[in-house]
A and B are shown apart, each in its own frame.
Chain A
Amino acid sequence: MARNLAAFLVLLLSISIYEAATIYEPISDSHRTVALELFAPVNGSYASLEDTYEALSIYEILAIEKKPDVSTTACKKVLEILGSSSPPKDVFYALKVNGKLKCKVDEKVLKDIASRLKATVSDASTLLDIYHSIGSLVLIKDQTSNVDVLLADGDGAFQSIKALSQSDGRWRYSSDNPESSTYAAGLALEAFAGVISLASSEIDQSKIDTVKNDILKLFDSIEKYDDGTFYFDEKIVGGHEHQGSLSTTASVVRGLTAFSAITSEKLNLPGDKILGLAKFFLGIGIPGDAKDFFNQIESLAFLENNKIATPLILSVPETVFSLTNQDLLKVKVNTVLGSAAPPLTVKLVRGFKIGAEDSSIFESKELQYDSKRGLHVFSFLSKHVDVGSYMFVFEMVLHGTDDDKVYATGGQIHVPIYVTGIIKVGSAEIAVLDSDLGSVETQKTLDLSGNNVVSLSANHLQKLRLSFQLTMPNDRAFKPHQAFLKLRHETKVEHIFVVGNTGQKFEIILDFLGLVEKFFYLSGRYDMELTVGDAVMENSFLRPLGHVELDLPVAPEKGSRPPAPPVDPYSRYGPKEEIIHFFRAPEKRPPQNLSLVFLTLTLLPLIGFLVGLLRLGVNLKNFPSSPVNALYAALFHVGIAAVLLLYVLFWLKLDLFTTLKALGLLGAFLMFVGHRTLSYLASTSAKLKSA
């Protein structure tokens, strides 16, 4: 009877809700690897006790064996903090670390702290102080039984927390801060749980009910994604250290699970919201930040063990199946932390092809449970199954158990499945047709699985026809997503055409008469390429078919120009060719010897002159005899010689001005002696004449 009731309750509580098709995976070993990276201690210790506590929690929750040992340094810090009168926040984290590491703290110290904290609770004005104090007292209670932590005025503490609540379920941080925060609500709920467990006298049930109402109001403002994920977000940006959606949701989960654990009745929250929160945390994947990682893992640990509903995650590790390999469909059901689920059966409610939702290929099949591997399997691939993309709808059916734990399974879960296979390509042929007559000029068969290429030629009055057939392994027609014929000209201008089909037969006819303008009137060699591909086609290919020599008419004046070829970055940026300057060749000079020969030739007439003079029988008899006149005559000739020598010097190295100066002097001298000499000679010849 009870068993039936339980089973009925279980069935009732596996709610059927339409789920969108996103797959969530539970925590796995990849999380553990990253955890070791993120929470590795620096020089044997962590930055603060809060970080130490987070790292230790992670190692515990994820059951990581090879964790670093930080107990010595951490315990030292713990004892230090607990020994001195530190603020409640530091005490709180020190006690948390102590709870994990079990440092040997003196009971007297704990007693002192307990009495101090109790005083803080009654005087506290901010939510954080109350939270940390209450939390520390709860921790002390767990760590030792000899210290009295019970609150004398439980109601008073309860009231001071409640005073800060808002009407929409959120909480304020203190009475003088008007901003309300969802994060603070989480803290408040946890504090409430602590007060209830610490109160010396029972808290009134009506008070607990008000808190339950606050929780329900808080859940009214929950945010939702389309795929059934629920989360909390802060409305205020900035202000008291902006908490993102992850830390806010984590805080609420912490508070909620703590509160529900402490109350005797169950909270009236729908299981799909709990599952939605679990999916939010799982949907983050593996966070890269230590704080985010801790929030995620800790919240999932709380959700796994909470009293309201335990979420179960259905995951499909492989969603791509190959007909050639005949794989099995495997489904895993785990808790959020990856542990085993309670006994249940996974049912395939229906499986249909995308695009044909009405006709189901599979219906109401139960999956076999392979207990060795912990998987639910289903063999569904057969010769008759079409290649394509499918949608499978799963449902979990729990076997009744004795404990009345509630599980949130999420109803119907949609999983997209791909079935791939080798597509048979056959009857491929390419032909050049003559315009309207349709008569075939050239026809060649193609082997699209081989490597041979064809070479065709056509002019603008002809057409090109390419045809082939595609069939699935079960001999039905197949239409791939991508079927392109690409023609590429020598100048790299490309044109793409989609190959259409009727059933199995794919055919494209390119009428060049209509394409002349599209091809920019470019004649020449066009390389042909056929690309056929699809997500489910295992043998998608890109095949060069060969080339076709196209003869198109000449472009008219106003025809469109083909697009410019792309700039090749490698050539544009390369070094330029070197340029050498060719010097002007000097003019051809005559050989030196010729010049020397002619030099001697030029001097010959001088010799000839002298010889001639001698032949004529010249003499110098008229030279004046008297010494004075002889001197003047001699000086005259010396002067002439001096002037000529001056000229030679001028040619050799002097400049004109120096020469003219010297010439002036010499010239004056020459004039004087010349006048004397010539007048003497004139007088002598006159004497001779008259005589």
Chain B
Amino acid sequence: MAKLVVFLTLISLLPLLCNSFSDDKPSDRHILVLLDDFAIKSSHSLFFKSLQSRGFDLDFKLADDPKISLQRYGQYLYDGLILFCPTIERFGGSIDAASILDFVDSGHDLIVAADSNASDLIREIATECGVDFDEDPAALVVDHTGYAIAATEGDHTLIAADGFIKSNVLLGSKKIEAPVLFRGIGHSLNPSNSLVLKVLSASPSAYSANPKSKLTSPPSLTGSSISLVSVVQARNNARILISGSISMFSNRFFRSGVQKAGSPTKHDKSGNEQFLTELSKWVFHERGHLKAVNVRHHKVGEVEEPAIYRINDDLEYSVEIYEWSGTSWKPYVADDVQVQFYMMSPYILKTMSTDGKGHFFTSFKVPDVYGVFQFKVEYQRLGYTSLSLSKQIPVRPFRHNEYERFIPAAYPYYGAAFSMMAGFFVFTAVHLYNKPT
């Protein structure tokens, strides 16, 4: 409960504007990698090589190295942080849990990997980010029907997981055929937290317990509600990846084949490399980072943007949305971007059409209610940064001379008035010059 309160407080303090990236180049370049032991640099070298080949500059340091720090004189030295130090009790230098959370709060990305002997410090960092690891320090995720068949692993703690989230932006457009090997601890997500997503969930028969001791009470984490790998997209668009297994990133698991229990297919290569490479692309903003520019609106047939609209006007609204591809801004293609014409509540909500080059447009008729409206684009899709645009525009009613001039229903009255005038004219003449005989 206290953790929830702390977490909610922290999330509510996240600044709304993303001020860590320059709008031109949101990808991270310098990443600090904190390790328990330099052996991890060698045993997880395939993962690091995949990052370095995409242009990232990795700085490897021991987690208790007294010279490490994230910022100097108020400037952050790194754009991203990878914590591959599950057993660290206390960081060296000027880094601690609070400084890491400040780092994330300022819009930078984070990858955290825990393991079965995860320290309280790593668990605390994970809790602040919104995921709760199993509190039992000796617990591992065990699955007796979804384990990976291996000649030397008999206790079913090595799991072949294939409960992927359905999202092309998070996991890439190519389907991951082979299951992912996982050995570590599981975590659960707070159901009311809407920023955290389960990327890899355990199968329904999985549970989190100490495999060596008997179970007397039901475990707190069971079934598909156990999340093995989760991501958080904060409101300032910082992205966090939390995994319960550091060996999932290792060369051994990347290269190993996998066969899930109960399935006859034996895959030559596990899905770990594809899964983690694609997910790391998402975490470091090479996918799913949108920007919306060039909001324009005008009356149909005109080009200039008016300062005020009249009710029942036909107008056109257009916006350009781009997605960062890691190296450049590419046009964003989707068919579900919607614009609202909003005053206290949306009067009109319309899906915009696109020309495939990032240009989204639609046209509609202004409602016959006058007031101060807003063009609102609230775009939130799974795995994409959220777009929140709003432009105010007033709407006025008809001027007195914009109504129809001659109302057909009033013709008799017009006729009556003119006939009276004619009658009057005749009468004046007759009245003056009539001579009774």
Contacts and interface: CB of A to CB of B under 8 A. Distances in A.
Interface in A184-230: none
A618 interface: yes
A583 B347 CA distance: 11
B419 A605 contact: yes
Interface in A487-542: 494, 496-498, 529, 531, 533-537, 540-542
A26 to B, nearest CB: 14
Interface stretch (A125-133, A169-177, A317-325): A317-325
Nearest to B47: A288
A197 B81 CA distance: 52
A598 B411 contact: yes
B194 interface: yes
B54 interface: no
B42 A606 contact: no
B151 A317 contact: yes
B367 A583 contact: yes
Given A289-B41, A584-B368, A681-B432, A644 B425 contact: yes
A498 B145 contact: no
A23 interface: yes
Contacts of A590: 409
A284 B42 contact: yes
B154 A570 contact: no
B360 to A, nearest CB: 13
Interface stretch (A109-117, A269-277, A446-454, A609-617): A609-617
Tell me the dominant secondary structure on chain B's binding face.
Answer: mixed
B338 A567 contact: no
B251 A286 contact: yes
A577 B346 CA distance: 11
A498 B209 CA distance: 13
B197 interface: yes
B191 A484 contact: no
Contact of B218 (A244, A496, A580, A605): A496
B144 interface: yes
A533 B209 CA distance: 13
A580 B368 CA distance: 12
Interface residues of A, number: 94
Given A289-B45, A537-B144, A609-B423, A496 B432 contact: no
Interface string A283-314: 01111110010000000000000000000000
B350 interface: yes
Nearest to B311: A583
B218 A497 contact: yes
Contacts of A681: 432
A592 interface: yes
A564 B193 CA distance: 11
Contacts of B365: 581, 583
B422 interface: yes
Nearest to B337: A575
A484 B145 contact: no
Nearest to B378: A576
Nearest to A607: B419
Contact of A618 (B192, B194, B207, B434): B434
A519 to B, nearest CB: 15
Interface stretch (A139-147, A369-377, A403-411, A619-627): A619-627
Interface string A240-255: 0000111000000000
A674 to B, nearest CB: 10
Interface string B203-219: 01101010100111111
A588 B350 CA distance: 30
A389 B155 contact: yes
Nearest to A534: B144
Contact of B412 (A316, A529, A576, A598): A598
A622 B145 contact: no
Interface string A633-671: 100010011001001100000000000000000000000
B62 A486 contact: no
Contacts of B46: 288
B433 A623 contact: yes
B152 A613 contact: no
B437 interface: yes
A564 B192 contact: yes
A681 B435 CA distance: 12
A517 B365 CA distance: 55
A285 B252 contact: yes
A595 interface: yes
A320 B152 contact: yes
B416 A602 contact: yes
A599 interface: yes
Nearest to A488: B223
B222 A484 contact: yes
B4 interface: no
Contact of A569 (B211, B218, B340, B382): B382
B40 to A, nearest CB: 10
Contact of A599 (B204, B412, B421): B412
B336 interface: yes
Interface in B313-357: 336, 338, 340-341, 346-351
Nearest to B340: A579
B265 interface: no
A599 B218 contact: no
Nearest to A644: B421
A567 B194 contact: yes
11 contacts: A244-B39, A288-B46, A316-B152, A317-B151, A318-B151, A482-B209, A569-B382, A578-B350, A602-B419, A613-B430, A620-B430
Interface of B: 38-39, 41-46, 49, 62, 65, 67, 142-145, 150-156, 165-166, 189, 191-194, 197, 204-205, 207, 209, 211, 214-219, 222-223, 225, 251-252, 255, 312, 336, 338, 340-341, 346-351, 365, 367-368, 380-382, 408-416, 418-419, 421-426, 428-430, 432-435, 437
Given A289-B42, A320-B151, 16 more contacts: A288-B46, A319-B152, A389-B154, A566-B191, A572-B194, A575-B351, A578-B350, A580-B348, A581-B368, A595-B410, A595-B412, A602-B416, A613-B430, A619-B434, A622-B435, A637-B429
Q: Nearest 3 A-B pairs (CB), nearest first?
A: A288-B45, A533-B144, A418-B154
Interface of A: 23, 30, 34, 237-238, 244-246, 284-289, 292, 316-320, 389, 416-418, 420, 479, 481-482, 484, 486, 494, 496-498, 529, 531, 533-537, 540-542, 563-567, 569-570, 572-581, 583-584, 589-590, 592, 595-596, 598-599, 601-603, 605-606, 609-610, 613, 617-623, 633, 637, 640-641, 644, 647-648, 677, 681
